[in-house]
Amino acid sequence: MASKSTSSRFSPEFYPQLLLIVLVAMSFRVSLSMWGHSGEGKPPMHGDFEAQRHWMEITSNLPAKQWYVHGPKNDLQYWGLDYPPLTAYHMMAAGMIAKKVNPDLVELGTSHGIEKPDVKFFMRASVLVMDILLFLPAAIAYFIFSRPQKTDESIILNSIMVFTAYPGIMLIDNGHFQYNNVSLGLMVLATLALSFTYDLLAAILFCMSLNYKQMELYHALPFFGYLLGRCIKSGVFRGIYKLASLGMIVIATFAIIWSPFLSSVESAKAVIQRLFPFNRGLYEDKVANFWCSVSPLIKFKDIIAPQDMAKICMLVTSICTLPSFIDLLRKPTMKKFHYASINISLIFFLFSFHVHEKSILIAAIPVCLVVDKDPLAVVWFLLISVFSMVPLLMKDGLLIPTTVAVSIFWMSSDYFVRPTLNQPAQVVYTMQVSLLGGVCLVLATRFIPAPQRFPDLFQLLIAIYSCAHFFIFAFYFHLKQLGGIYEQVLWKFLEGSKGTVSQKKSFDASSVNVDKNLATNRASSRSLRQRR
């Protein structure tokens, strides 16, 4: 992966250390794979594991025309395909391999709910393959190539470590069972392409990501805003040319991916109807978003019809994304893009229609990408994001691996990126109290039986607790994005009465300076440790 020019950038120890990080990440994922998955031993519907397996069965046995259409051989009531075509192709490829290795797994009609050790291994291995081929390389490439040449290699390694050790995505992908690593890996690659100013490539990669999972729409606005902003910035003629070529490339990518479904309007419409089911609920289970958290007070679900609610959600979401979007449009820099992709996906998570608890991953991955810029907020946010998914993970019997993954992530990120270094004392205390509160809530959920009248009491409490955090984080990241005067207000507030911390000046400086600052921080902390 490393090109000639960068091969001399790192010491000879860099690559073995990198390999070590990848090996640790992979062995954790492999051992996680041996635990339960969603819907294990729960007929008749099982869970996401069975859904993905069923899609392999459908796509590898039926022609593309029938994938999204209800038919004698394709019962859409039983986990009908409702992801975009790229997922379908991926499932088809996996199904083709399964036919060679283990034909029972994708036998049309008769393989429903199949549960055998070799089936589990095949499915789990298919996720691990995407981890090793796409997700981890994307993260590594991102941190190596998007950072300035002078960046201390320990910062790069530590950032990669935090990214690969983030428990949320592995618990969902390798535990619960999904392929978020594909769509999010593509999104990371698209971000990397943007930082190289390969705008067309970024557009292609993002379109692929979007065509893998429609939830990537959460990221569509930041990409759109950034690219449009750059078009506007480059003058009238160049701008129009740029915009036209971007539009062409997007249309072309879509056309290629959708080609089997474009033969008639009906077939395209059938796919779209599967992708955007507006007759579904406002949210699934207990989600840490706005609508669910206010449900003890106002039950929107019961007062307003889903169709109207969808419109309300859309309106609220679009209004709330405006500040971040307009700011990005005006100043399309990479720093703003990072924060905008956090902010907008977070707003979508908080306000949009039919949100799953897993969707927090879409906000969490862009957060991971700024771990070297703002370690405290990142680590805190990531921990809370896993916390918000605990009820789901408990349902899959993944409480022990969740505890292990979170504790190790917490301890190792504390050691490697030192989030609390040079931070105002009360911020650190607040973080510790907030996380302790989360731990207590999880313990309560596990050990205290919920009252008869409110069987979902603790799940709801977890949702509300996380939702409050997400609101604060959204506010914080907005201030970070807007920068300038807003950020100064933020630091005034954080530092409060307890004296100022000298390091804070660096936050106004460019990202390069922040990196340098981090390097010196690290050096000083190392010497501190040595002295100890």
Of the two residues 24 and 243, which places its CB atom closer to another protein in the complex? Answer: 24
Least separation, in Å, of the C-beta of 104 and another protein?
16
Of the two residues 31 and 500, which places its CB atom closer to another protein in the complex? Answer: 31
Long-range contacts (CB closer than 8 Å, 24 or more residues apart) made by 511-518 = 511/148, 511/334, 511/335, 511/373, 512/148, 512/150, 514/372, 514/373, 515/147, 515/148, 515/150, 515/151, 515/152, 515/155, 515/372, 516/150, 518/152, 518/155, 518/372
Place of tokens 């794979």: 33
Least separation, in Å, of the C-beta of 530 and another protein?
6
Of the two residues 73 and 116, which places its CB atom closer to another protein in the complex? Answer: 116
CA 517 to CA 416: how far, in whole Å? Answer: 16
Tokens of residue 428, six digits? 């650190």
* Torsion 156-160-163-167 (CA) sign: negative
The residues, ordered by sequence, that sit 6+ positions from 510 with a Cβ below 8 Å of its Cβ are 335
Of the two residues 11 and 452, which places its CB atom closer to another protein in the complex? Answer: 11
CA 16 to CA 35: how far, in whole Å? Answer: 29
* Torsion 220-225-231-236 (CA) sign: positive
Least separation, in Å, of the C-beta of 27 and another protein?
4
Of the two residues 84 and 419, which places its CB atom closer to another protein in the complex? Answer: 419
Of the two residues 197 and 407, which places its CB atom closer to another protein in the complex? Answer: 407
Least separation, in Å, of the C-beta of 46 and another protein?
19
b (16+ CB within 10 A) / e for 98-114? bbeebeebbeeeebbeb
Binding residues (CB under 8 A) for another protein: these are 13, 16-17, 19-20, 23-24, 26-28, 30-35, 117-118, 121, 124-125, 128, 400-401, 403-404, 407-408, 411-412, 526, 529-530
On whether the CB atoms of residues 184 and 54 are closer than 8 A, the answer is no
Of the two residues 23 and 326, which places its CB atom closer to another protein in the complex? Answer: 23
On whether the CB atoms of residues 482 and 323 are closer than 8 A, the answer is yes
Least separation, in Å, of the C-beta of 415 and another protein?
8
Query: C-alpha dihedral over 420, 173, 345, 56, to 10 degrees?
Result: 170
Least separation, in Å, of the C-beta of 235 and another protein?
48
Of the two residues 209 and 413, which places its CB atom closer to another protein in the complex? Answer: 413
Which residue, among 275, 287, 304, has the nearest Cα to 352 in the 3D structure? 287
Least separation, in Å, of the C-beta of 28 and another protein?
7
CA 31 to CA 41: how far, in whole Å? Answer: 20
Tokens of residue 244, six digits? 């036209």
DSSP helix, strand, coil percent of the chain (3-state; round to 5): 75, 0, 25
Least separation, in Å, of the C-beta of 498 and another protein?
27
Of the two residues 23 and 262, which places its CB atom closer to another protein in the complex? Answer: 23
Of the two residues 124 and 504, which places its CB atom closer to another protein in the complex? Answer: 124
CA 457 to CA 451: how far, in whole Å? Answer: 8
Tokens of residue 327, six digits? 């700011």
Least separation, in Å, of the C-beta of 147 and another protein?
19
List beta partners, residue 355: 283
On whether the CB atoms of residues 388 and 437 are closer than 8 A, the answer is no
Least separation, in Å, of the C-beta of 417 and another protein?
15
